[in-house]
Amino acid sequence: MAVVPTPEPVLPSREDPVVERASELIGGPVGRRALLGTSWWTPIRVMLLLVVLASAVGVALDQPCRATGWGDGTTQYTHACYSDIVHLYWGRGIADGLVPYLDDPTTVGAEVVEYPVLTGAAMWVTGLLVPDGGDATSRGIRYFDVNALVIALLAAVTVWATARTAGRRPWDAAMVAVAPGLVLTATINWDLYAVALTSLAMLAWARRHPVAAGMLLGLATAAKFYPALLFGPLLVLSLRTGRWRELGQAALGAVVLWCAANVPIMVANFDGWARFYRLSRERGGDYGSPWLVLSGLGVDLPVQRVNVWGPVVFLSLCIGIGLLGLMARRRPRFAQLAFLVLVAFVLTNKVYSPQYVLWLIPLAVLARPRWRDFLLWQTAEVIYFLSVWWYIHGFSEPDTALPARMYWVAVTVHVVATAAYGALVVRDIVRPWQDPVRAGGADDPSGGVFDGAEDRFVLGADVDVSQAEPSAPQHTS
């Protein structure tokens, strides 16, 4: 019986120009024979070490704020170490032992939690882990420390899942592990719960476990809304391949788990549960959004108008992405379409908080694993990250803060850089022989049942799509 050799992993130092040049500092690219070694330092273990170090650097950058328990209204902006975690520990009644959505926070002068239920549960459970005793400042610091540890574990899960999903390209997940956006924003809020669950869902789908993938997406959507958007790309790819059974299984799993997390709270306190959705509807163009820039430039954009134009522009972009997925000569990869839909969402949303970059990072790496493009995009995100805090600082210290027009420039830099990364992904779809993932002969490592599947429907196609591009690599299952 013939033994089928295991495909060798792709080495970035031999395949990515940026990594290849950087490797000259340590003796040049890794040799092929290095793959035959038995070193304990596997790619996964190396990247887990990297993400642990990155998390430690992120917490170290928070030390100016940690020293004062986030009680200094100036330091948290001038040192860019702001975090919602401690502020909401007190401001949402978590410190007083109140259960989000179920207990009345006004009894202790707090407000209702404005997040989906799984995030609220995370806020409450981590509050239970804070030891009693000490003054308010020390309790808030301990609450931050507990959450920082959990967030570091979630970052490690995200890196691990991304590496596994990447197939023969596990080293690509190093971009997630050391991403400046991860280092700077991981401890701002609880977004990494949704990010880690979404990454696990991508892995489950890649391993052809649609029910598990759907259940994980349902849980992720119970933490943040955005994971639900991944069903759009799945729908397009199912239409193209005719793989409807798996899509139905995933959708059913998502609905069941989302309902399991949400329905009990809806029944117990519908108003508390609905606060997140009401706030999303009632807020106007806010920090980081193009709507805020347009308003600053004099465009009349009341909340009602943004509530109309935001969804209209987003749905228009989604229709364009869907048509691209159905008309492309070679079927796009799942991660490519998922990233494009998420880019469309964050660029048309009414707010772009700095930590939202965490939503994009794992999908960006799976969609287009090129260090140069990734680092250029991350540089733009760092510019925005620093700018938003100095802009907010101006509300209390207008003489030393970032002028509004400079902040609008920073928002524009973020928008253009994010859109440009999306444009590169579109180019890879239109010209699949330039796609870094497919250059080595792979089809769709994150695609699960779509990987190597035959097309059943291609919009406007009158040619054999498998032979559409002369230099395209062969599909692999």
Please state the domain extents for the chain: 40-447
pTM of this structure: 0.91
Q: Are 471 and 441 in contact (CB under 8 A)?
A: no
d(CA 98, CA 84): 18
Q: How high is the pLDDT of residue 35?
A: 46
Q: How high is the pLDDT of residue 5?
A: 41
Residue-by-residue DSSP string for 23-43: HGGGTSSPPGGGGG---S--H
Helices (H), 134-207: 136-165, 174-177, 180-185, 191-206
d(CA 379, CA 254): 35
Q: Are 70 and 83 in contact (CB under 8 A)?
A: yes
Cα–Cα distances (Å) from 422 to 195, 316, 342, 419, 426, in that order, read 19, 16, 10, 5, 6
Q: Are 29 and 98 in contact (CB under 8 A)?
A: no
Residue with tokens 């010209």: 431
d(CA 355, CA 358): 6
Residue-by-residue DSSP string for 346-386: HHHSS---GGGHHHHHHHHHHH---HHHHHHHHHHHHHHHH
Q: Are 363 and 407 in contact (CB under 8 A)?
A: no
pLDDT in tens, the chain (477 residues): 333 344 566 767 566 667 656 655 544 555 554 444 456 778 899 999 999 999 999 999 999 999 999 988 889 999 999 999 999 999 999 999 999 999 999 998 999 999 999 999 999 999 999 988 778 889 999 999 999 999 999 999 999 999 999 999 999 999 999 999 999 999 999 999 999 999 999 999 999 999 999 999 999 999 999 999 999 999 999 999 999 999 999 999 999 999 999 999 999 999 999 999 998 888 888 899 999 999 999 998 899 999 999 999 999 999 999 999 999 999 999 999 999 999 999 999 999 999 999 999 999 999 999 999 999 999 999 999 999 999 999 887 877 788 999 999 999 999 999 999 999 999 999 999 999 999 878 899 999 999 999 999 999 865 344 444 434 443 333
Q: How high is the pLDDT of residue 131?
A: 86
The one-character DSSP state at 477 is -
d(CA 60, CA 354): 18
Contacts of 107 (CB under 8 A, 6+ apart): 98
Q: How high is the pLDDT of residue 46?
A: 93
Contacts of 252 (CB under 8 A, 6+ apart): 211, 214
d(CA 183, CA 230): 25
Q: Are 86 and 147 in contact (CB under 8 A)?
A: no
Q: Are 234 and 335 in contact (CB under 8 A)?
A: no
